[in-house]
A and B are shown apart, each in its own frame.
Chain A
Amino acid sequence: MFYREVGQFKTSYAADQAIFPIRQDRIGLALILLVAFVAIPLLGGEFLIASVMIPFLILALAAIGLNILIGYTGLISLGTAAFMGVGAYACYKLSTLFPQVNILVWILTSGFIACAVGVVFGLPSLRIKGFYLAIATLAAQFFLQWCFGRVGWLYNYNPSGAIEVPGHSLFGVAVTGPSATPVTRYYVVLCIVVAMTWIASNLVHGRIGRNWMAVRDMDIAAQLMGIRLLPAKLLAFAVSSFYAGVAGALMVFIWLGAAEPEAFNINLSFLLLFMVIIGGLGSLLGSFFGAALIHILPIIVRAAPNALGLSVGSATVEHLTYVITGALIIFFLIVEPHGLARLWQIGKQKLRAWPFPY
């Protein structure tokens, strides 16, 4: 309905290959960024920024990582949380060993460490597929989680067994630790997430992305195109774990401020998986949708009864959330296997074809 594509013809391949070829889409994107960078910090309350936006963005980042693995390359992983953990603990170690170094450097570096670990656990993916691989990644999940708890060196032998984030500042502004204001932390996360999303979209729209999808859709034919499965899959694991690692580091350093091994338990892995399924396999946008839904759902479930004047125990809320999430998964798999992203696509198509139905 709002689309006026007449006259938007492409005179160069660069323009034709653009990720947002339609002007109206570019405008929309600009608006979203404007809201994210200006409106929310200005108008958003502490709760919105600290308890909604920051976690949402971080989870979305991790979801993107997982989506690259499952959605684009077709490799199921149940170990994402563990890889996030690797990022978190790596960042913790590095930043405590060399406190003077810029924290952003460490956040990214820990991404690379997670990346390395990811590759190791990705190796089996050549021999095995589908559920087998899923189970194999469980090994990563449990082994790494065990390490976080048992290898004292990782948490500097804190008696509590947890890791607390020391305060770090960036250009004189506190970005981590108690003294950091939500808004600053929000900006740090936002910038990183935007940048990494941009990179991810570049990857999936280029040769590498095509190779991944080729492997996903028909690995036999992919080999015939000269695509070597192992490198392609390992690269997917690497990139995926890198995203997870950075997300993990952000999660501890910017969001929670402290964490125990339990923070990276298998449930988180599941939740991320759900974000990807509900959001939409093979869609970056979907990762954001999924993250939003899964993260905001409990908040709503918690808020809703109060709004209705009922009081519900936090336990009940948790249980309800479980039920709803589970139901949603099944619902989406049946009704729209490609998740919210596909629904979005369909809606968009309808708007483009308006007033026609197709």
Chain B
Amino acid sequence: MHILYLIFVDPFVQMAGAPDLLVQTLWEGLVGGVLYALIALGFVLIFKASGVFNFAQGIMMVFAALTLVGLYEKGVPAWLALILAIGIMYLLALAVERVVLRPLVNQPDIMLFMATFGLTYLLIGLGEFVFGGNPKEMPVAALGLPKGSLDFKILGGLVSLQKIDIAAAVIASAMVAGLALFFQHTRIGRALRAVADDHQAALSVGISLNQIWVIVWFTAGIVALATGIMWGARSDVSFALQVISLKALPVLILGGFTSVPGAIVGGLIIGIGEKLGEFYWGPLVGGGIESWLAYVLALAFLLFKPEGLFGEKIIERI
């Protein structure tokens, strides 16, 4: 009886009791969610355009951030480091298209999926090999990102929002908007959408598949970079972030592999969900449930709606 109370009543009592804490938690979750959403976003881009389930998307984020910080630590001015980082993401996109996608085109998806595992390891190894494995600090100031926090006295308590988080939220929304426009109103964007539907169509637009892949991976790279900066600003930059980046996967399952809005909504759900879970229910089981809550949510979700919130229904033809 007591246990049921602890699970189904007590948490809500707490929420009501300390609304400021609730708001704080929600905000935390929201920001986390936004970042998940960004990773997932890059992922969806690639999946839509090249049908590749890019397991390495999370690592690309860490790699991008690491490159940026690494260069900065090597004395490169932040703005230049940023540009270089972007450049490297472009090279990466090229390399991936050449070395991985092109040879494996027409292979079963599962092959490409596994190839991205290889990519993951390659990037981890490379990043650490070049810049060293020790955690690094994101040069927030140098990148002109705000520091410190805004505190509001509301709901009889204190809610403090990290400026960086606000920035993150803003930038994230900006990027989403930007991408949306890009897809709707540019030739390439339309081509990308076409590819998602069928590859011939893309060619008709007059862009080769290979180019498209490069573009997509590059875009995903930039998204990764931005995300990486945000994450990095909130915690140190190291491949420990890898674990966080995997969170993008359950997000995808919720959102569906092919839906941009799905990625965003899914991200928010997961982000907020796990924060609330951790904060209000976690203590019941000794905390730390953040590490798996997302996956279990996703799993539960899979069983009832395999195609995700916004994904197209998969009809099996015989």
Contact = CB atoms under 8 A, between A and B. Distances in A.
State if A and B touch, Cβ cutoff 8 Å: yes
Interface of A: 76, 124, 127-128, 130-132, 134-136, 138-139, 141-143, 145-146, 149-151, 220, 266, 270, 273-274, 277, 315-316, 318-330, 333-334, 337
B128 A315 contact: yes
A108 B103 CA distance: 44
A138 B250 CA distance: 9
B77 interface: no
Nearest to A335: B103
Contacts of B125: 319-326
A330 B122 contact: yes
Interface residues of B, number: 49
A79 B287 CA distance: 22
Sorted nearest first, the 5 A-B pairs with minimum C-beta distance are A322-B125, A329-B118, A326-B122, A326-B121, A323-B125
B288 A323 contact: no
Contacts of B132: 315
A333 B114 contact: yes
A150 B296 contact: no
B120 interface: yes
Given A142-B291, A326-B118, A327-B122, A136 B302 contact: yes
Contacts of A150: 285-288
Given A130-B109, A326-B121, A329-B121, A135 B253 contact: yes
Interface of B: 53, 99-100, 103-104, 107, 109-111, 113-115, 117-126, 128-129, 132-133, 243, 246, 249-250, 252-253, 257, 285-289, 291-292, 295-296, 298-299, 302-303, 306, 316, 318
B115 A329 contact: yes
B121 A131 contact: no
Contacts of B253: 132, 135
A146 B115 CA distance: 28
Most buried by B among A315, A318, A323: A323
Most buried by A among B103, B126, B253, B292: B292
Given A135-B298, A138-B250, 19 more contacts: A76-B110, A135-B250, A135-B302, A136-B298, A138-B246, A139-B298, A146-B289, A146-B292, A274-B117, A274-B118, A318-B128, A319-B129, A323-B122, A323-B125, A326-B125, A333-B114, A334-B104, A334-B115, A337-B107
Given A138-B295, A150-B285, A322 B115 contact: no
